[in-house]
Structure 1
Amino acid sequence: MRVNKLWLVGSALSVLVACGETVPASNGPGFGDPLDWQRENALTGAPVQSTSLSSTTNTSQAIPTGQLISAGILPETSGDGTATYVRSTGVEASPSNAAPTLIGTSLSDEQDFEAVSARETIQSDAERRAALASQYEVVQPTALPTRVASGPNIVEYALTAPNTKGQEWYSRFMLSGEGRFLRNCAKYASADEAQRDFLARGGPDRDPRGLDPDGDGFACGWDPAPYIAAARSSGN
């Protein structure tokens, strides 16, 4: 039994040694970012092996090698195999770089009392305000333009009508049928437009187009009530 146990332990150790020998080194290509591996070899002086970017990325989306070299991501290899990282595009961050120039960022300090009091006095401020006031241009008011009426005033008619909607007040020709009323009213964009044209054609006494068959003096169902309510609410 002791021999069997020793044999099993030896077999287990042999398996572990065999597995350890098959594990590749973690500092070679294929582990981590291949670009970081190449950069590390170049900095330590180790030989740089050319690794195709297409082996790790989709070739249809790969960035051209020339652009990677210009950006300082891939090294530029000379004829003797020396690899050098050279950035030909962009700006390399460095403490020695000049500070950026700010353009158009100055703010007014007119609200800063200490800043203004350092360069202005009460007298100079009064003179400046007087100079600004002298540049003001006063525009004299003019008379309002006269409004030219474009037709009958339906608001005035609504406020002076002797009756309400649907209350017969004028006599109409009985042969003016509903069909004629509907056809002619359909030609107007609104009831206000129909009422205005109705008054322009002699209404409410006359109704040549049959727009007011019930004789209330309101064409195509026009209603004076909203105008009356608005006038009452405004106090007129």
Structure 2
Amino acid sequence: MRFSILIPAIGLMAACNTVAPVQGTGFNTPTYQAQREAELAGQGGTGSPLPEPYEVSQQPLGSPTSGADGADLATATAAALASTSTQATAASASVRTASNSGISDEQDFAAVSERRSIETDAARIEQNSQTYEVVAPTAVPQRGADGQPNIVQYALSTSNPVGAQLYSRAGFNLQAKAQRNCAKFPSADQAQIEFLSNGGPQKDRKGLDPDGDGYACGWDPSPFRSAVNN
């Protein structure tokens, strides 16, 4: 009984150790391996042989603009670029004109060359030469030609400061009288001219120099002296 059970078990183990032949097609079949090796070796087979590496690198690339459709595409692209360039130029000129409104663009070579040429410049030079006029110099007018005293010359001829008495003055209330009379002049310069025109600085007929320094109504010769010294 025990012996009859062992016989089937031994037969089953022998069957498991037997390798069955591989049927059908696949990556590991002998047929596929033989074909692959033949293609790699360039010996033909069911497929085309693989090209050598240098043959692949020397093949020219196809142009995207080849053929009738490619030529149309190239023409359309060139036209679009030209139109864009023209629009950009017009926009730039418009911006330049708007930004320079009222300002001369004579220093802009591109702007000047658009509207002027050698011929127009020559015509302009000729027109300017015809209208050119030489003004003869005239003599410089002399100071005091109108008959009035020259206060600049008087200031430079004196050296005493304001308030230093040089001339005698007689009378009562000289300061009050000088204030009333000086108020009639729009400036100290006008008062000094009037003072020199009526006998000043030795005489003070209108009471404009009460302290006798030779300067009417507080007129100061210092600015004229400083201008000469500087």
TM-score (norm 1): 0.44
Q: More helix by proportion, 1 or 2?
A: 2
The higher radius of gyration belongs to 2
